[in-house]
Structure 1
Amino acid sequence: MTRRRVVVTGIGTVNPLANSVPDTWRDLLAGKSGIAPLTLFDVSKYKVRFGGEVKNFKPEPIIDHKSVRRMDRFTQFALYASHEAVTDSGIDFAKYDPFRLGCIIGSGVGGLAEFEDGHGTLLSKGPDRMSPFVIPKMIPNAASGNISIRYGLRGPNTTVSTACSSAAHAMGDSMRQIQYGFADVIVSGGAEAAITPTGLGGFIAARALSHRNDDPAHASRPFEKDRDGFVLSEGAGILVLEEYEHAKKRGAKVYCELLGCGNTADAYHITAPHEDGIGAAEAMRAACREAGWNLNEVQYLNAHGTSTGLGDVAETKAMKQVFGDHAKKLMVSSTKSMIGHLLGASGGVEAVACALMMKHGVIHPTINHTTPDPECDLDYVPNTPREARVTKVLSNSFGFGGHNCSLALGTV
């Protein structure tokens, strides 16, 4: 069976830098940090008091007031970003068979704030005072469900929850649905809103976060010698994925093509990556194989690059295993250096960044990169953007549980 081609025809995002694609692109090229002191709740008793909040977020009028009250923050992010992506794509869903239109969204945590609020009400006021919306707001599939309701998408509709690789896996699953003829268009990506008392406290307890309270903007330091953990962030990155001939027929603009997805497991540890990066390496190889690329053809890699001690070294080792001598010629950068770690939404925002870099011929930098870790000795495009026309790109996403996903994206 001949697999059908899958292209990106629309992109949307809300993230710690900005609440739109144009403003996000501007700030990425400026090397701006979106990390700042937290304001969503009182963090005075926490050892970490900063993160990547979405700022000045006003879901209305994109989402009506009644619906906003019935959605957790992560679902609001997903709907807001999907509105931008669908508008950008120019598609009128009403013109097509709704059973050929789908939605697959990733979220590592789902409605954590709603869970906390509901549990608080249970303890303080009893079960009879709980809201009937607790469950519909907190379930991780609330994002994909609400997007499908908004646009009348009656085809494939699922939710992926593989920790920090959720959005990437969601896009990989969407690609397969389109490749093998189960759908023509799928709205995909990821959304997360885990900056809550439990979310922040849990990651602090896991000793995963940076403690640079005195300098939040420089806390996310991927591949740096003195990095001390990742920065907890929130937001969404959504893409409209479409079968190539379908997009061509309606005259859609095309950002890039999704050509491959490598999906592996470390089978090693529930939170730590395999120290040699063997699972990550095989995910990259698999993505390139499916794309039909020779390994030395890859020009740019958007790294998982979280700013953790173990993760950055393991990913660098994985890149060296895969690319050999070519690894030194590869341009690598970490979007997380500017936006922090959006957990299950990260892959979505990073795919948006990759689409923009291919479109504009500019690679965004890895900021806060002044004293490289000797074990991280590749070209991380430090601190300033670089003009470069790239046609073959990988985007890595790795998650707790040992989940690895690498996406291969190319120009059309």
Structure 2
Amino acid sequence: MRAGAVRETRRRVVVTGYGAVTPVGPDVPSLWQALLSGRSGIGTVTGFDPDGLPVTIAGEVRDFDPLVYMPKRAVRRLDPFAQYALAAAVQAVDAAGLTVPVSRPDRMGVLIGSGYGAEKTIIKAAEALITEGPRGVSPYFAVSGGSDSAAVEVAMRFGAQGPSGSMSTACATGATCIGDAARMIATDVADVMVAGASDDCLTKADMAATAKTGVLSRRNDDPAGASRPFDLGRDGFVMSAGAGVVLLEEAGHAMRRGAEILAEVAGYAATTDAYHLTSPDPEGRGLQRAMRLALSDADADVTDIDYINAHATGTDGGDRVEITALRQVFGERLAKIPLTSVKSVLGHMMGAASAVDLIATVEAMRTGTVPPTTNCTEPEDPELDFGTREAGRREIRTAMSNSFGFGGHNAVLVVRSFDGG
């Protein structure tokens, strides 16, 4: 079947709500306010004793009360990553005004992934086994120790009986889950999908291991200034925790119930570098292909893009490769498009990062405001607009959100304003 014919027969997918738990606050309003003001969520680690680590800063989730979103019994059994996911999902469903259970629960699904899964629960179980023996291991570990535990809890909370599960594509996980969930709706597998990702891998073991790869910033004496995407003074990314979840619906389903439509998921593509465990292909060929495929999927071209939310984490090689790939795809047009990274404020939320990136992208479209790349005081490429110029109001009808991660995973989403047609 022709690509055009496939596009004509597939169903349209829209975003009607979203939620987030991040280092700058427990919801989307606090997230958006921090992004616009440049208020950093990065600080010295408090969740454990970082003594002996070369890196002692991170973007921890603070001011989050899980009891606002779930009963005590759920808090006791759930890893923090799953608590964040459930909270973000509740926010998304509430924001969308969706009455649950829906009339067709078999047509509602959940796809919430994680780069690391129930990391703290796994470590706690291992420590209990060593110090107390088998009796010390909680029975909850059997059901809450997997990366699918967040999706399970969300499905049970809303009575979703359609497809559900968890995926992991490292730092691209959120975009992968959202893109694949959108395809489930587009191909008539589901009418409603709760999709996104969550991570909390801020443990001493994970930070020690990641620091050894050389990708983390060691600007311990300046936490707020440590995450510096696209800046010549960058020295690595900052590990963070949190979740981002969106509610996706088939457009007709959303319109029939009178929902406010925030954006349309117009295009999605995923590719793999198959180059290196941690480093991207130096030419960014996989990312280039993902961007071109996502544009094609959206029936759009580079002239349609009004804003790009970059993956840019603040690593020397990663940021440079992304710019190289963008220049190859967009050419001279790139200099006219705002290109910013919200990781300058949030740090890198690992698997959850790309879900929060998409939320920020839609907020930029809705408000006509581009969040700046905070800390980018000496841009690597002076020709490009990293959100460091005077922005003001800007009409954004179509935007792109890029994600790529360890293992060579690339995922690109294209969203546009919904025309109601």
**Alignment TM-score, normalising by the size of structure 2:** 0.96
Question: Which residue pairs with 1:410 in the alignment?
Answer: 416
CA contact (8 A) 1:29 1:385 kept: no
For residues 124-171 of structure 1, give each alpha carbon's deviation from its aligned partner in whole angstroms, at most 9, with x where no partner exists: 122232111223222111111110011000101121101000010000
State the AA in 1 paired with 2:14.
V
Tell me which residue corresponds to 1:215. Answer: 222
Question: Contact 2:25/2:64 (CA < 8 Å) preserved in 1?
Answer: no
Partner of 1:350: 357
Aligned-partner residue type, residue 322 of structure 1: V
Question: For the residues of structure 1 that align with 2:343 and 2:48, how far apart are their CA atoms?
Answer: 23
Structure 1 residues 86 and 152: alpha-carbon distance in aligned structure 2, compared to 1, 3 A threshold: same
* Equivalent in 27, 38, 55 of residue 34 of structure 2: 27
Secondary structure of the equivalent of 1:93? coil
In the TM superposition, residue 242 of structure 1 has moved relative to its aligned partner by: 0.3
Q: How does 1:79-90 map to 2 (within 5 A)?
A: 79-90=86-97
Q: Which of 379, 397, 403 is residue 403 of structure 2 equivalent to?
A: 397
Residue in structure 1 matching 2:11, options 4, 22, 37 = 4
1:95-174 to 2 correspondence within 5 Å? Answer: 95-174=102-181
| RMSD (Å), alpha carbons | 1.2
State the distance in 2 between where 1:61 and 1:15 align.
16
Amino acid at match of 1:388: R
SS at match of 2:94: helix
Closer/same/farther in 2, CA of residues 231 and 386 from structure 1, 3 Å limit: farther
- Whole-angstrom CA distance in 1 between matches of 2:388 and 2:122: 40
Secondary structure of the 1:225 match is coil
Given the alignment, which residue of 257, 262, 284 partners 1:255?
262
SS in structure 1 at match of 2:410: strand
CA deviations 1:74-112 (Å, max 9, x no partner) are 000000111111000001122421110000012100011
Q: Counterpart of 2:415 in structure 1: which amino acid? A: L
Q: 1:204 aligns with which of 204, 211, 216?
A: 211
Query: Which residue pairs with 2:338 in the alignment?
Result: 331
Within 1, Cα distance between the matches of 2:195 and 2:22? 16
- 5 Å-filtered alignment, 1:201-280, equals 201-280=208-287
Equivalent residue of 2:122, what SS? Answer: helix
Q: Secondary structure at the match of 1:398?
A: strand
- Residue of structure 1 in register with 2:193 after alignment: 186
Residue in 2 that maps onto 1:291: 298
**Contact 1:31–1:367 at 8 Å: present in 2 too?**
yes
CA distance in 2, matches of 1:144, 1:316: 34
* Matched-pair contact (CA < 8 Å) for 1:316–1:378: no
What one-letter code is carried by the residue in structure 2 that aligns with 1:348? A
Match of residue 384, structure 2, among 374, 378, 399? 378
Counterparts of 2:17 and 2:395 in 1: how far apart (Å)?
21
Residue type of the partner of 1:272?
S
Q: Tell me which residue corresponds to 1:58.
A: 65
Letter in 2 for 1:69: R
The one-letter amino acid of 2:115's match is G
User: Any stretches of 5+ residues in structure 1 without a counterpart?
Assistant: none
Normalising by structure 1, we get a TM-score of 0.98
Q: Name the amino acid aligned to 1:38.
A: V
- SS at structure 2 position matched to 1:188: strand
Distance 2:412 2:151 in 1: 22
Q: CA deviation at 1:23?
A: 1.6
CA contact (8 A) 1:31 1:383 kept: no
Conserved 8 A contact 2:101-2:160: no
Cα distance in 2, alignment partners of residues 297 and 52 from structure 1: 34
1:382 counterpart letter in structure 2: T
Comparing 92-101 with 67-76, greater Cα deviation is found at 92-101
User: How many aligned positions are there?
Assistant: 411
Instruction: Quote the offset at 1:45 in angstroms.
Output: 1.8
| Aligned counterpart in structure 1 of residue 315 of structure 2, from 295, 308, 316 | 308
Q: Which moved more, 1:49-58 or 1:127-136?
A: 127-136
Give me the whole-angstrom Cα distance separating, in 2, the residues matched to 1:253 and 1:393: 19
Contact 2:244 2:356 in 1 (8 A): yes
Matched, 1:369 2:376: yes
> 1:205 Cα shift?
1.5
What's the CA shift for 1:298? Answer: 0.8
Task: Tell me how far apart the structure 2 counterparts of residues 379 and 310 of structure 1 sit (CA, whole Å).
Answer: 19
Alignment correspondent of 2:3: none
Report the Cα distance in structure 2 between the residues aligned to 1:364 and 1:40, rounded to whole angstroms: 29
Seq. identity, %: 40
Distance in 1 (alpha carbons) for counterparts of 2:139 and 2:95: 35
CA distance in 2, matches of 1:198, 1:90: 41
Judging changes above 3 Å, is the alpha-carbon distance between structure 1 residues 384 and 93 closer, same or farther for their aligned structure 2 residues? farther
* Cα distance in 2 for residues equivalent to 1:248 and 1:225: 47
Q: CA deviation at 1:226?
A: 1.3
Matched residue SS, 2:101: helix
Q: Structure 1 residue 208: deviation in Å?
A: 1.4
Aligned mates of 1:319, 1:33 — CA distance in 2: 27
